[in-house]
Chain A
Amino acid sequence: MEARGKRPQGELVLHQLRKQFGHLVAVDGVSLEVEAGEFVCVLGPSGCGKTTLLRLVAGFETPTEGAIYYRGAPVHHLPPQERNFGIVFQSYALFPHMTVWDNVAFGLRVRRLPAHQVRARVQEMLALVGLEQAARLYPAQLSGGMQQRVALARALAIQPRVLLLDEPLSALDAKIRVRLRAEIRRIQRELGVTVLYVTHDQEEALSLADRLVVLWQGRVQQVGPPLEVYTRPANSFVADFVGTTNLLRARAEEDGGVRWGRVRLAVATRPPGPGPVVLGIRPERMRLVNGSQAAAQGNCVPGVVESWTFFGPYVRLHVSAEGELLAVDVPQEVLSGGRVALRDTVHLHLPPEAILVFPGSP
């Protein structure tokens, strides 16, 4: 038990952070605790306030209300220069008139480290990101991926208390993005540095994070490990934004079941009470069954295949059922085996444990 008013626990603590620009509330009461060595991703659509949040932590913006603590000490009144947080920008923000070496050495020289220490540290950092060969080059001579490695090395060189990354990969093309993603994760594990990483790319966030923070309209929607956020989204926004979810308007009934159009469905999570609800079900959780199975099993809905999109290993069918268009993922063999054709009537099985129930309407 700890008494109220004691110093906050956790490596980095955001407490009730609020940032207002004129009438616009960009960040609206965000609280978060980040443990030492943890990799936390802030995920949200553009304009959700995630970049503002990061800039508040970095010190480029001052919170309208709330506080930021590092190891229990308030830091929100400190200039960015005194926070010792490393930051990596989407635009890399390398100093174009300095070589790779001088870019990485900049923070160390500001700290007046002796020359031999600067040399050793820069060498170490360049080795860490695999750019020893590029030390004498200028940023303009490097590819985007290499520039972002330099930016990473530059931010890590000062041994930051926390590493902040603002959509570091979104300016790169797909293949390099995936490779650099793995590399960031490797380096983070190697150094054990605490990371706050902002992105709008859910795949990036799911694959990188120890913990995910979903932000929308300046508010935290859900905090948790990626698997938990994916499988048990806190609300219909999270369900829709993280991965793909079919959201269906339905009614909860007295006995704990739900009615969707003419269909009655059993659900594993009991709705809060009778009234309108939103059902969520992911495309990969539905199965195609034949008519007789459907009659025997229950929780089945008939529908018509309107179109499909081919994704390689799987196919997304667009099935109209009960006046809604559902996305249903099936292995591509279903299509290549000729088991489904356009305008076919199919039966969808919705397992009760796969159906998410959210109060209200979408």
Chain B
Amino acid sequence: MKATPAVVRPVPRPWLAQDLWLARGVAAALLLLFCAFVLYPLGEIVGRSFWKAGFTLEHYAEFLREPKLFQTVRNTAVVSVVSTVLTVGLAFGYAYVLTRTTLWGRSVLWAIGLLPLIAPSFVQALGLIFLFGRNGLLTRTLLGLDWSLYGPVGIVLGEVFYCFPHALLVLYTSLSAVDASLYEAAQSLGARGWRVFWWVTVPTVRYGLAASAFLVFNLVVTDFGTPVVVGGDYRVLATEIYTQVFGLQRFGMAAVVSVVLLVPALGSFLLDSYFRRKATATLTGQARPFLQPTRGWGRVAAAAFAWGWAGFVLLIYGTLAAASVVRVWGYDWTLTWQHYRFEAVGVREALPTGLKLSGLAAVAGALLSVVVAYVVHRLRPWGSQLLYALAVLPAAVPGTVVGLGYLFAFNKPPLVLVGTATVIVLSYVFRFVTLGTLAASAALQQVDRSVEEAAHSLGASAARTFAQVVFPLLRVALFSSGVYIFVRSMVTLSAVIFLIAPGLDLPATAVLTLTTDGKLAAAAALSTLLVGVILLVVGGARLLLRVPVVLR
């Protein structure tokens, strides 16, 4: 007779115990970090906006009473809406030319269209000043006009250039995803020309259009660099925070303006991600491009528009580079390298410091995002959903608000960090960790779970599996997040403007200082150098690491 083994009830998940505690420990540590560097600064702002020796609504009342302050809301709305409409319209036309025509040189157009992605927002504005400013090449030198760019027109122009590539990316993806069979079906049913456009093209890319509109709106509302350089007296929310702090020392009011700015910023961010999800859901696997030979006037118009825009983009960067090597723009056109002698204007350390801090942030941020993705998607201990939310949140918070929050939070115990390089690196890491986490999550979902299980069954421990199997598979995500964080850190201005200290200059803040001091040529030189360095890094990463470079 066979033996009957006694029924054994296993201890629940016994072998998982140590891995489980490890996962819980790591998740708790990460949660603590994100609370300290994402939630705490935000909480400080909200708190300060209601605080004046006790809870009060006084700051808000004051905000509503002061017409100048309330005017900033209207100004922000005006430039944001106008910039959004112009940018989306232009980018849609450009994307349409790239995806639907047989125009020559479309890959070149594509590269030029995306160029502004690697430049800080104020670089566009600076280039515009050299073209259209008081000493502008086009306005004064060529046309002899006495016209000033500063104000809403300058902001809108700068924003359109700055936001164009972001909208282009979204719209290009949407338009490429429409399969040619849809058009062929429409044509076989007798539709032609504008009918196909209104009945097939526009409906199929409507989510992409909506997403790009909210994305651009978000970028404009939160942008600090453009209005601070070409805004003149035209005050918008993002710059008003800065003015309230450094001009007027009204910290409570700065907090109120931040809270007010958070509303459209968060709203447009959420709508953008909502429509982005919808747009991706409608994407089919592989779409056959719908390219029809473009002839006649259509071809001329498409070429004029696309090459005209591309030429304008090149003109702005070219002007910037040119302005950095002539003695006095508009008056004395002798070539000189004198503007590149940065020690003369006291910003010699800016670029090396920027490279160092951005490099540190890139390494730390990339590692952090891989660990966060692994904890959230694979280990899934208690609290991992919250952790994921906290990792995505920073993308929605405007840089100026982050800067002010850090200024409030880390200027007093328990964490006195303001004035150190550490706080700048931390602000980089936690502002740009979102994209890294998303990239690592996407890469992780490509890895079949059974690959990890195979490693376990062959005897590998959890740590060894992570080190030898999971981590190498996330290598590409790791490198591309690293490059992304590096580039974003190099060009960001809005948060760090609150955090720099005497003797601690960064390239972006140095350009701003030079601009406000009227040393425009030196600002152009530093900007040119900055763009050149970033181009080198991005190109190097693509060639050496064979890493796709994601820029937003």
Which residues on B sit within 8 Å (CB–CB) of A83? 457
Interface residues on B, range: 20 to 34
In the complex, the answer to whether A65 meets B464 with C-beta atoms within 8 Å is no
Query: Given the complex of chains A and B, what is the CA–CA distance between A107 and B14 in angstroms?
Result: 23
Contact of A4 among B3, B12, B13, B15 (CB under 8 A): B3
Query: Given the complex of chains A and B, what is the CA–CA distance between A148 and B160 in angstroms?
Result: 54
In the complex, the answer to whether B460 meets A91 with C-beta atoms within 8 Å is no
Contact of A76 among B1, B3, B8, B461 (CB under 8 A): B8
In the complex, the answer to whether A77 meets B7 with C-beta atoms within 8 Å is no
In the complex, the answer to whether B456 meets A79 with C-beta atoms within 8 Å is yes
Proximity bits, B1-20, A CB within 8 Å = 1, else 0 = 11111111111111110000
Which residues on B sit within 8 Å (CB–CB) of A8? 2-3, 5
In the complex, the answer to whether A81 meets B453 with C-beta atoms within 8 Å is no
Known contacts A67-B10, A80-B456, A110-B458, A7 near B5 by CB under 8 Å: yes
Interface stretch, picked from A9-17, A178-186, A202-210, A310-318, is A9-17
**Would you call B137 an interface residue if the criterion is a C-beta within 8 Å of the partner chain's C-beta atoms?**
no
Which residues on A sit within 8 Å (CB–CB) of B550? none
Which residues on B sit within 8 Å (CB–CB) of A95? 451, 454-455, 469
**Would you call A106 an interface residue if the criterion is a C-beta within 8 Å of the partner chain's C-beta atoms?**
yes
In the complex, the answer to whether B473 meets A67 with C-beta atoms within 8 Å is no
In the complex, the answer to whether B15 meets A79 with C-beta atoms within 8 Å is yes
In the complex, the answer to whether A62 meets B472 with C-beta atoms within 8 Å is no
Query: Given the complex of chains A and B, what is the CA–CA distance between A66 and B7 in angstroms?
Result: 6
Contact of A67 among B7, B458, B459, B464 (CB under 8 A): B7
In the complex, the answer to whether A81 meets B3 with C-beta atoms within 8 Å is no
**Would you call B284 an interface residue if the criterion is a C-beta within 8 Å of the partner chain's C-beta atoms?**
no
Known contacts A4-B4, A95-B455, A106 near B15 by CB under 8 Å: no
Within 8 A of B (CB), among A235-257: none
In the complex, the answer to whether A93 meets B453 with C-beta atoms within 8 Å is yes
Which residues on B sit within 8 Å (CB–CB) of A87? 453-454, 457
A190 to chain B, nearest CB (A): 21
Which residues on A sit within 8 Å (CB–CB) of B457? 58-59, 80-81, 83, 85-87, 155
**Would you call A267 an interface residue if the criterion is a C-beta within 8 Å of the partner chain's C-beta atoms?**
no
Query: Given the complex of chains A and B, what is the CA–CA distance between A100 and B448 in angstroms?
Result: 18
Which residues on B sit within 8 Å (CB–CB) of A97? 472-473, 475
Which residues on B sit within 8 Å (CB–CB) of A15? 5, 7-8
Query: Given the complex of chains A and B, what is the CA–CA distance between A60 and B13 in angstroms?
Result: 10
**Would you call B107 an interface residue if the criterion is a C-beta within 8 Å of the partner chain's C-beta atoms?**
no
In the complex, the answer to whether A91 meets B5 with C-beta atoms within 8 Å is no
In the complex, the answer to whether B473 meets A60 with C-beta atoms within 8 Å is no
**Would you call B286 an interface residue if the criterion is a C-beta within 8 Å of the partner chain's C-beta atoms?**
no
Within 8 A of B (CB), among A125-176: 151, 154-155, 158
Contact of B451 among A67, A93, A110 (CB under 8 A): A93
**Would you call A1 an interface residue if the criterion is a C-beta within 8 Å of the partner chain's C-beta atoms?**
yes
A54 to chain B, nearest CB (A): 11
Within 8 A of B (CB), among A289-321: none
Within 8 A of A (CB), among B54-110: none
Within 8 A of A (CB), among B103-140: none
In the complex, the answer to whether B469 meets A89 with C-beta atoms within 8 Å is no
In the complex, the answer to whether A2 meets B3 with C-beta atoms within 8 Å is yes
**Would you call A63 an interface residue if the criterion is a C-beta within 8 Å of the partner chain's C-beta atoms?**
yes
**Would you call A263 an interface residue if the criterion is a C-beta within 8 Å of the partner chain's C-beta atoms?**
no
Within 8 A of B (CB), among A93-140: 93-97, 106-107, 110-111
List 23 A-B residue pairs with CB atoms under 8 Å apart, sorted by A's residue number. Answer: A1-B1, A2-B1, A2-B2, A5-B4, A33-B2, A65-B7, A66-B7, A67-B7, A76-B8, A77-B15, A81-B456, A81-B460, A82-B459, A87-B457, A93-B450, A96-B451, A97-B475, A107-B459, A110-B459, A110-B460, A111-B459, A154-B454, A155-B457
Residues of B within 8 A of A (CB): 1-16, 448, 450-451, 453-461, 464, 468-469, 472-473, 475
Which A-B residue pairs are the 8 nearest by beta carbons? A107-B458, A79-B15, A93-B450, A67-B8, A93-B454, A89-B450, A110-B459, A8-B5
Residues of A within 8 A of B (CB): 1-9, 13, 15-16, 33, 58-60, 62-63, 65-67, 69, 74, 76-87, 89-91, 93-97, 106-107, 110-111, 151, 154-155, 158
Taking A8-B3, A15-B5, A110-B458 as given, write out 17 further A-B residue pairs in contact, using a Cβ cutoff of 8 Å, ordered by the A residue number.
A2-B2, A4-B3, A7-B5, A15-B8, A16-B7, A62-B12, A62-B15, A67-B10, A80-B456, A83-B457, A84-B459, A87-B454, A95-B454, A95-B469, A106-B468, A110-B464, A158-B458
